[in-house]
Structure 1
Amino acid sequence: MNYSVSAGRALSAARASVVYAKPVVLLPSLRTGLTMFFPFDGNVTDVAAGGGAITPYDGTQAPAYADPGVYGKSFRNERGSAALGAFKLDYPAGLLDSVQAFTIGFWYQSDGTANDRSILGNKDYNSGANPGITIAQWAGPELRFNLAGGSRVDIEGVKFTPNKPVYIAMTVDKTAKSMVAYRYDSELGFTRLFKGTATVNLAQIAGLFGPHIGLNEDGKGTYGICCAGTKGPYTMIFDDLAFWSRALTEDEVKSLAMSGRSVSELFP
């Protein structure tokens, strides 16, 4: 579009450009390798039927839901004051050992006040050098991604906005010897951070506590009460928690985070 402005004998012209941004769509390829998927729409069912289950560490705690969530309802994961007052994602035995790459992705929300809390992890988070993986919340608020087995690698300082849903994904590729962290925040934008795993023994990333990943906890299920920087009850909200038995591409993660569509739509 061209505009001309005249004042007396002076004439000036300006050109305004409109940049078209192609809409982000939910990519059908996200069904490939999708092993477990929990939309949390009022239940904790693995709709991918990959053998996953959300269960309480203490065997008795009932799940709660946030309504509205990101899509429908969300899992309101209320870590209580009891020693084992938290939930975990149980997965088929041997899964983390058998795959050559995997991606974990989910929507996350918290008030951002707690420091040194495991959002998702299968290790004893009392030390990040212990074998396994962790995505954690630290003061800032920020996200930290950790992977260890003999040695450790970390991605730190990933800021997020409190009290708003943010999309988080972590990819571990054993063949490429890499860890990739993703975060989408409607205020801070999309970021991808890469870290080579160097001397980490990736055969150890399944951890030592059996085939499960703590949610709002570590692999032992006790860190939030015994050892965290901010100890005690804490609430984290999860939605569209998914596990792929492959490394997602950056475009696929952008699709999950920025299409405004739930993975549920890829199921008949």
Structure 2
Amino acid sequence: MYPFKYHKAATVRGAVGLLKKGEDAKLLAGGQTLIPTMKQRLASPGAIIDLSGAGLAGIELKGRTVVIGAMTTHAEVANSPIVQQAIPALASLAGHIGDPQVRHRGTIGGSVANNDPAADYPAALLALGATVHTNKRKLAADEFFAGLFSTALDEDEIITKVAFPIPAKAAYVKFPNPASRYALVGVFVAKKGRAVRVAVTGAGNDGVFRHAGMEEALAKRFNAKSLDGITTEAASLNGDIHASADYRAHLIGVMARRAVAAAA
């Protein structure tokens, strides 16, 4: 690990001020991606800005929306009575991220900002139609994710919370890598009114994406059998040592059917 300066921000405004100092600074949330890459010397920020003291943790129910602070850990989301009752699919998703050590350190804001193509939360945001709140603005999930490890965030922009509308039905099912627990393929299905949203993570060669064909079929009839005959083009999917693009295409269909069955 290369030398760096450490700052602990007491407020979001203070963190933004430190970002603007020009020290090639990186924000530290749970550190589940940043710290390992620094240890391997794949990242060498000049300064680290710790957000743990900036007051960004917490879970609230506001009307028909669950609002989760950016520094809320995966374990807190998984064990929250509010989330368990309002959006049990989201609580289940959080409870199956990584291992207990990761769940007690990793945060929802860090995961969303990092936008790993195999992460679980991006699928939840897309499927549930969540809104990402920052120190500057509000961003719909459809506008937020911009490709592999890329988002619409500006250099001095910090996620403060994520707001999830409560669906009528929802479920998330993933085929996890047995070592990392990242999704080889994960599918989140959500129904609200007559609209259905289906988000796929772990498979797209450009990161998380919505599956229009499945959404159209499920909007007509919300049943796993409605997905019969619907396929995913392998050319748009990622292939690696863990799974080929063709295998991931097959898994999308399998995980989607299981998610619909669980939601229904």
Q: Which bin holds the TM-score, normalised by the shorter protein? A: under 0.3
Tell me the TM-score normalised to structure 1 length. 0.26
Higher helix proportion, which one? Answer: 2
Give the structure with the higher percent strand: 1
Q: Which has the higher contact order (CA 8 A, sep 6+)?
A: 1
Structure possessing the higher radius of gyration over alpha carbons: 1
When the two structures are superposed, what TM-score results if normalisation uses the length of structure 2? 0.27
